[in-house]
Amino acid sequence: MVSEQHEHERVLDPEQDAAALKALTHPLRIRLLGMLRQDGPATASELAVATGESSASTSYHLRVLAKYAFVAEAEHRDGRERRWQAVHAVTSWSNKAMEASPDSRAYVSLSRRTQIEHLRSSLVRHEADTGAGRLGPEWTEPSGISDLMPRLTPESLTELWQAIDRKLEELTARDAGDPRAAQVVLLTAGLPLAPRDPGGAPETSSPAKPDAEPEVEPHTEEAS
């Protein structure tokens, strides 16, 4: 069996997709997949230049991604080198299902930390684009980052995720033909925190961030 797949979404199942998950739990592969999703089709050589890797390395990892149907050959500009494209825009999963094994939990953890790194790199790029005048002034007001901390029940947090998904789908469809539309990095998080014990042990440091690009909004199905 293979995981459920739709035109724009790959839904991973930790039992059916154990080998695919293991293959994807690699920082460079996540980075390559994210670049193809964000910037469009590219050759192994082009991705090698962008990542600082060798073309032999990027070519190998692209073939692994293709083996598990994350990428596929795209239309070639010439007959000399393969061009690759992402098969789906989004990778999603059930958080509950992914708790089943250490490998699937490791993938979720790596994916989330990759998303955080994507936010950092996107902020740098956004500020550079704004400063260089590559973005018009109409983008100044709606751009931003929020770190609200509401108190919600599990049911309310689930409802919030669903409302965001519905509204995003509606707005994306509405703006599909508008030439003013631009790619927007929308990173959402809902991370419940247990009450802190004032007399408890100090907070542990965050795990090291992998050197990786995102999958461009990997998103949990039950809810990035």
Confidence tier at 78 by pLDDT (50, 70, 90): low
Confidence tier at 197 by pLDDT (50, 70, 90): confident
Instruction: Output the average pLDDT for the chain.
Output: 86
pTM: 0.75
96/108 Cα distance (integer angstroms) = 11
146/9 Cα distance (integer angstroms) = 26
The span from the first CA to the last CA of the chain, in angstroms, equals 25
Single-letter amino acid, residue 91? T
CA 202 to mean position of chain CA atoms: 31
166-187 burial: b if 16+ Cβ within 10 Å, else e: eeeeeeeeeeeeeeeeeeebee
pLDDT number for residue 223: 29
Confidence tier at 200 by pLDDT (50, 70, 90): low
pLDDT number for residue 219: 38
Tell me: the pLDDT tens digits for 34-55? 999 999 999 999 999 999 999 9
pLDDT number for residue 61: 97
Beta strands in the chain (DSSP E): 9-12, 42-43, 71-73, 83-86, 90-93, 219-220
